[in-house]
Structure 1
Amino acid sequence: MRKGYMKAAVFKDIEHIEIEERPIPECPEEGVLVKVHACGICGGDIRNYHNGLKDGIRDQVMGHEIAGEVVEAASDVRQFKAGDRVALAPDVSCGECYYCKRGMVNLCENHRMLGTHFPGGFAGYISVPKIVMERGFIEHIPEGMSYDHAAFGEPASGVLACQEYNQVSYGDTVVVIGDGPVGCLHMEVAKARGAKKVIMLARGRMKQAEKFGFEYIFNNKNLEEATNKVKELVGPGADIVICAVPNTAAQQQALELVRKRGRVVIYGGVPKSNPMTTLDSNKIHYDEIIVLGAFSYPGTGLYDALQAIHNRDIHAEMYVNGKVNLENLVNGMEMVTNGEAIKVVVDPWM
């Protein structure tokens, strides 16, 4: 590779990623230049690979679960300097819309993302401009934490925010539908928050999930059978059911498992080509069930997640069990899809 250049995995079109040699970006004014040491493969990356980026964007470097080292900081940047280890998360808010003015930055009407609207972390370096410094997420990595584990802070951020918003607390019964990294995170976080009983409905990755030592894991390939097994455990129903899978069948199943005045949380985004769901509105009405979505996290989200990992409330080493280089990015996506790994991290320098 030529001096002053880096490798980058570039999304060209649906199911078409090319490895390119690109010039290392310059450090922007009022920004920093970060050498990427780890970038996690998100379920959203996999959906985007198969379905396309938002707004039809092409020729873009994907990847948004990022950890690396600041190699250069603009002279007017005070909070970061060369040599600092940092983690980044994707959301960039505008600061001006109705929701931003009220602190709900995750619901920004002009929401943009690293890896979609800005170049992401599937590359040797990432340029972090002023708008991302001010309206995005960049945090110092706690001392002693690896880059791989710091990159896991981003997916953990949304789970922590979801359970805080829904007030999962001591004595609750929580059902999680989904056995991927997000499903396992919801299980672990619910236990850390004091939930009395935490139950997972799993499919392709049961063996991976079983390594966490969760007390209740049921195979969800037969929805009716799995639903009946959970009902035997939860009496009148679960206090909260979290759908952490990208399909709509789980949402109807969740209604069957939640108690009256319980909560069903739709956490997993579904394919844009088929986003519609059918729910029993009479059950929602007569049982006074709350059905709501959960997306992203507040301004403290990434910091909170890094602290939770640092404090061992979340055990990142249990999740990050696959690593690939840029050339094998698509293979890494397949490892996640096939259940060979819970979380795969890309190292651009392998």
Structure 2
Amino acid sequence: MKLTQIVWFASAVMMGNMAMAQATPVKIAVLMYGNKAEFVQLMEKYAKDYPGVKSGEVSLTFYDGRYDASIQNDQAATAIQTKTDAIIVNPMDFEANIDIVTHANQAGIPVVVANARLNTDAMTSEVISNDELGGYLEAKAVLDKLDCKKHKVNVVIIEGPKGGSGEIQRGKGNDKAIAECGAGQVNVLERKTANWSRAEAQPLVENWLQKHRGKINGVIGQNDEMALGAIEAIKGAGLDVKDFAIAGVDGVSDAIHAVQAGEMVSILQDAKGQMQGAIDVALRAVKGKGYQPQSDIWQQYAKDLKWEDGTQKHYFVPWTTVTAANAQQLLDARK
């Protein structure tokens, strides 16, 4: 073989290897705390709609944590062992799932926390919404409707899973809104968890309606699913939902329909913003300086959500209060 042929062949092999390397997708393990809730399903939908996923640049592997922190930790171990390039975790537990970050860091794998929080700053970044603010906004919506500064009112609070960041942070926001009404103005008759579940919230509220017959004025559900369970309980008891002030958090489709019907208030957290933002930040960690984000959420929230080269520790996706005016637009965006 002549020298020129050898050089040409070597160059062709090198270019072929480079093309193969460039064609190899970035592998991201996505650890969701549980896939039964619509909000989690929306996060998965928007992950699959991410431009880099559609182009083949990114390969996603989803894990269903089945609402169990220990299962999520085991799934993270599997992702690490199979040499994923990055991990996005929607953690079940504020404390117990810190192990995911610890073990990933030891393996040199970036971790981006999405939606819920972990009690650590050792992760690469987090892309979330401020749950304390969300809890404040939903409780304030209930208490403003009840005019709590002028009238003493009775409310019940349906909490998220105990020990999860959502329950902790939204609970703080609930308490802040209650305190603003003034001492003794708001009586919290009941405060228990329904584990983000509509099915668990319904019998819980049915019992409360029996126990506190005619006394409950408002229902603060720390997510929409539980608020919707409360609505079903109220209707099942033969009561008029519009006689109650009810609010939830997430902006799931059924809640948006309930807003249109005048039955509740919902504070929407953006599943697309959180998930696609998390993928962009994870890709920046893998690809390095110069990576440009692919999701349009950075333009959508340009005023409040700055890319900052994808290296910030905390990214807060803004909340949106669902109203009769914007409800249909929000629903149409999901089609």
The two structures have a TM-score, normalised by structure 2, of 0.34
Q: Rg larger in 1 or in 2?
A: 2
Q: Going by fraction, where is strand more abundant, 1 or 2?
A: 1
Q: Going by fraction, where is helix more abundant, 1 or 2?
A: 2
The two structures have a TM-score, normalised by structure 1, of 0.33
